[in-house]
Amino acid sequence: MSLAPVLARIDADLENATKRLLELLRIPSISTDSAFDKACDTAADWLVDQLRAIGAEAQKHQTPGKPMVMGSFTGSSNPDAPHILFYGHYDVQPADPLELWHHDPFEPAVEQTAHGQVIRGRGSSDDKGQLMTFVEACRAWKNEHGQMPCKISFFFEGEEESGSPSLVPFMETHKEALKADVVLICDTGLFDDRVPAIVTMLRGMVSEEVVLRAANRDLHSGLYGGMARNPLHVLSQILASLHDETGRVQLPRFYDGVRDIPPHLSAQWQSLNFSHHSFLGEVGLRLPAGETAYSPLEHIWARPTCEINGICGGYTGEGFKTVLPSQASAKISCRLVEGQDPEKIRAALHAHVSSYLPADCTVEFNSFGASPAVVMPSEAPQFEIARAALSAEWEQEAAFTGCGGSIPVAGHFQDIIGVSPMLIGFAKDNDQIHSPNEKYDLQSFHKGIRSWARILEALSVDKRSQQMAKK
């Protein structure tokens, strides 16, 4: 089957594909708010209908939370080609604060901007627009040739934005149905808004709240100040002790297992010509912080961090109140890299905080999420095949990149299904994901569809991918 007519059909059908995406964006599938449970159910039904419309077998699966959608094309033109599974999520973040949106977040529209046309609306980039790039690529293949170039399965989640509480049990129950030779995830972005990328490294995370208590009530600072223990003083000392003057984290054995990136990856990253001036300049900053011995890209992709996400204590309202607070708290997150054990890092944080605890002061720890880093084997044949296909579409050499964030489902595919996913996406840094006025460039949507069409064709015909599928 020829690729050229598929690409031509994608170009000709872009307006209709965009209309379909706008239809999905109008469904307020907010998974974090139970008031939108019906909308999440509607979005799942809509996706089932879309998959069936292009000839796939598709079903909605109920969970204790939001529904999962699964589907598949059972036949293909090449029975020796690998079986490909695509994952995306149809739920979105809440739209608050609504007053900062230029229009209703669930009345999406195509807008003309100084940098080209964009699709504006909640979920346009994260992740409905990205999800639909793959669906539309499959639609073009099926409409043009009557069948797919390989066996394809779909797996859509409705709880990604609310911590995926149903995901692991569902994957374990449906392990056989989710097995595939290649797993694709579209929930990442371009590098520097111009270079296509395959993310091969994701950091893990440990999240912790530290609550310090001293007196049994707030105290008058004139009567007790200087004599009574002030938990804000103690907390400030603890937080200041988390890093040394070079930016290294001071938790005990924090860097156990951490390795520098290999030379070939370092060379590729250097070739990207990343400008920290531009990157930081967009948010009003100039100079990189962090470990002085490492490059800015290594800071956000390949080095572990310990960050203070919030501090609370004492009087912070209007005016002034001379008070010694009875308690103070901080929320701390550690981003982890390959080789670090999340539970050991959590224990190290507890030990560090406790070592600074003076008399008359107690500590309580509230633990939140913990997940290890995920590293994909970029030396596997399918990674280079996909990279070449992306390079051809974007007329830019695609890069293997890291990601400072965490996408836990990637690790679940490794641990439960036994397949390392390829993370390919077309979002841009200025898409305002999770923020008001979220957008997805029409170019990202269009070239994203074309990119998947190329990747499907390349994986289906390349001899190395066929060999991979037979192993």
Q: Can you tell me whether residue 359 is helix, strand or coil?
A: coil
Angle between helix 4-12 and 128-145 (nearest 10) = 120
Give residue 470's pLDDT: 45
What is the torsional sign of CA 286, 287, 289, 293? positive
Question: What percent of the chain has pLDDT above 90?
Answer: 87
Give residue 471's pLDDT: 45
pLDDT at 468 over 80: no
Is 453 in contact with 81 (CB distance < 8 Å)?
Answer: no
Kindly state the DSSP code that residue 82 receives in the 8-state scheme: P
- 178: tokens are 């989710």
Give residue 79's pLDDT: 77
pLDDT at 158 over 70: yes
What is the torsional sign of CA 261, 262, 267, 271? negative
Give residue 193's pLDDT: 86
Alpha-carbon distance values, 160 to 29, 40, 190, 354, 432 (Å): 11, 12, 21, 34, 18
Amino acid at 115: H
Amino acid at 123: G
Q: How would you classify residue 329: left for phi > 0, otherwise alpha for psi between -120 and 50, otherwise beta?
A: beta
Q: Which of 126-140, 208-222, 285-299, 382-396 has the lowest mean pLDDT?
A: 285-299
- 266: tokens are 């370092």
281-325: pLDDT as tens digits: 988 999 999 899 999 999 999 999 999 999 999 999 999 999 999
- 100: tokens are 């900062």
Which stretch of DSSP H or E encloses residue 386?
helix 381-394
pLDDT at 279 over 50: yes
Give residue 462's pLDDT: 66
106-124: pLDDT as tens digits: 999 999 999 999 999 999 9
Amino acid at 87: Y
Looking at the DSSP assignment, which residues form a beta bridge with residue 206?
334, 370
pLDDT at 377 over 70: yes
Give residue 76's pLDDT: 65
Q: What is the mean pLDDT of residues 426-431?
A: 94
Is 347 in contact with 208 (CB distance < 8 Å)?
Answer: no
pLDDT at 170 over 50: yes
Looking at the DSSP assignment, which residues form a beta bridge with residue 374?
202
CA 18, CA 415: separation in Å to the nearest integer?
36
Looking at the DSSP assignment, which residues form a beta bridge with residue 63?
none
Closest CA to 51 of 13, 24, 91, 79: 24
Which residues 6+ apart lie within 8 Å of 346 measured at CB?
206, 208, 367, 370
Is 77 in contact with 149 (CB distance < 8 Å)?
Answer: yes
Give residue 262's pLDDT: 87
pLDDT at 176 over 70: yes
pLDDT at 92 over 70: yes
Q: What structural domains and CATH numbers belong to the chain?
A: 4-202+373-470 (3.40.630.10), 204-258+304-371 (3.30.70.360)
pLDDT at 267 over 60: yes
Peptide bond into 97 cis (omega under 30): yes
Is 176 in contact with 414 (CB distance < 8 Å)?
Answer: no
188-238: pLDDT as tens digits: 999 988 899 999 999 999 999 999 999 999 999 999 999 999 999 999 999
Give residue 135's pLDDT: 98
pLDDT at 464 over 90: no
Closest CA to 160 of 46, 97, 66, 33: 66
pLDDT at 469 over 60: no
Give residue 405's pLDDT: 84
CA 147, CA 143: separation in Å to the nearest integer?
8
CA 433, CA 446: separation in Å to the nearest integer?
19
CA 303, CA 307: separation in Å to the nearest integer?
13
350-369: pLDDT as tens digits: 999 999 999 999 999 999 98
Give residue 54's pLDDT: 97
Q: Do the strands 84-89 and 182-185 form a parallel or antiparallel pair, or are they unpaired?
A: parallel
Is 7 in contact with 451 (CB distance < 8 Å)?
Answer: no
Is 154 in contact with 71 (CB distance < 8 Å)?
Answer: yes
- As a whole number of Å, the CA-based R_g of the chain is 24
pLDDT at 67 over 60: yes
Q: Can you tell me whether residue 445 is helix, strand or coil?
A: helix
Q: Which of 11-20, 358-367, 371-380 has the lowest mean pLDDT?
A: 371-380
383: pLDDT confidence band, cut at 50, 70 and 90? Answer: very high
- 349: tokens are 């944080």
